[in-house]
Structure 1
Amino acid sequence: MCLIAWNWQPASPTPLLLIANRDEFYARPTLPLNWWEEAPILAGRDLHAGGTWLGVSRDGRLAALTNYRDPAHMRANAPSRGELVSTFLQTQHSATDYLANLVKHAADYNPFNLLVFDGQSLMGLESRHAKVITLKPGLGAVSNADFLTPWPKLTGLKDGLQALLIQDHPRDEDLMALLHNPHPADDARLPATGISLELERALSAAFVSLPNYGTRACSVIRFEVNQIHFQEQAFDAQGHIGTRKFTLPWGLQTG
Structure 2
Amino acid sequence: MCIVLLTTSHPKYALIVLDNRDEFILRPTSRPHWWAAQTEPSSTSGADGPKESSSVEVLSSRDLQRAERGTWLGVTKNGNFAVLTNYRETDTHDAMHPIHGKRSRGGMVTAWLGANPAESTHDFVRKMLESGDVKGVGGFSLICGKLRKANLKGEKGLEPLAILSNRCDHIDHIPWIGGQRNSEYGLSNAIYQDEKVEQELIWPKVRRGIELLNQLIADKASEGKEEDELVEDLFKILDEDRFPQNHILDLEEGIPLLKHSIFIPAFGGQQHQDEMAAARQRGIIEQTDHGDAAETLANVARPDDQPNGFQTGLYGTQRQTVILVDWEGNVTYRERALWDSNGNEIPRGSGDATFRFKVDGWDSELSNHVEQSVSS
Instruction: Report the TM range for the smaller structure's normalisation.
Output: 0.7 to 0.9
Cα drift, residue 134 of structure 1:
1.5
- Which amino acid is 2:161 matched to? L
> Structure 1 114/172 Cα, relative in aligned 2: closer, same or farther at 3 Å?
same
- CA change 1:147–1:77 in 2 (3 A) is closer
User: How far did residue 252 of structure 1 move?
Assistant: 4.4
Q: Hey, what does 1:232 align to over in structure 2?
A: 335
- Does residue 1:182 correspond to 2:241, yes or no? yes
Q: Structure 1 unaligned segments of length 5 or more: list them.
A: 186-194
Match of 1:127 in 2: 166
Structure 1 letter corresponding to 2:112: F
1:249 partner amino acid: K
Q: Does 1:98 align with 2:124?
A: yes
Q: Give the aligned residue type for 1:242.
A: G
Moved more, 118-127 or 214-223: 118-127
Distance in 2, matches of 1:67 and 1:202, equals 13
Higher mean displacement: 17-26 or 233-242: 233-242
Richer in helix (by share): 2
- 1:95-244 counterparts in 2 under 5 A? 95-104=121-130, 105=132, 106-119=134-147, 120-130=159-169, 131-135=173-177, 136-137=179-180, 138-148=183-193, 149-166=201-218, 167-168=222-223, 171-184=230-243, 196-202=252-258, 204-209=260-265, 210-211=267-268, 212-226=314-328, 227-236=330-339, 237-240=343-346, 242-244=351-353
Q: 8 Å contact 1:44–1:52 — kept in the other structure? A: yes
Q: Percent identity, aligned pairs only?
A: 26
Distance in 1 (alpha carbons) for counterparts of 2:61 and 2:125: 23
- Of 134-143 and 172-181, more deviation after overlay is shown by 134-143
Q: Which whole-Å CA distance do the structure 2 matches of 1:252 and 1:33 have between them?
A: 26
Is the contact made by 2:99 and 2:139 (CA closer than 8 Å) also made in structure 1?
no
The normalised TM-score by structure 2 is: 0.60
Q: Which runs of 4+ in 1 moved over 4 A?
A: none
Instruction: Report how far residue 156 of structure 1 moved.
Output: 0.8
Normalising by structure 1, what TM-score?
A: 0.87
Structure 2 match to 1:48: 65
Superimposed CA distance per residue, residues 121-162 of structure 1 (whole angstroms, 9 cap, x where no aligned partner): 311113223341111421111100011351011111111111
CA–CA distance in structure 2, aligned partners of residues 76 and 117 of structure 1: 26
Which of these two proteins has the greater Rg computed from alpha carbons?
2
Secondary structure (helix, strand or coil) at the match of 1:245 reads strand
Find the counterpart in structure 1 of residue 31 from structure 2. 32
Question: What letter matches 2:60 in structure 1?
Answer: A
For the aligned residues, what is the CA RMSD? 2.3
Higher share of residues assigned strand:
1
Q: Which amino acid aligns with 2:79?
A: G
The AA in structure 1 aligned to 2:2 is: C
Tell me the number of residue pairs that the alignment of Structure 1 and Structure 2 aligns: 245
Amino acid at match of 2:17: L
CA contact (8 A) 1:2 1:144 kept: yes
Moved more, 233-242 or 217-226: 233-242
Deviations 1:185-230 (A, max 9, x none): 8xxxxxxxxx845431145321112141111111100111231000
Task: Structure 2: give runs of 5+ residues left out of the alignment.
Answer: 38-55, 93-97, 148-158, 194-200, 245-250, 269-313, 367-376
Name the CA distance, whole Å, in 1 between partners of 2:101 and 2:78: 33
User: Within 2, Cα distance between the matches of 1:59 and 1:31?
Assistant: 22
Q: 1:239 is aligned with what amino acid?
A: E
- With over 3 angstroms needed to count, the CA separation of the structure-2 counterparts of 1:203 and 1:133, relative to structure 1, is closer
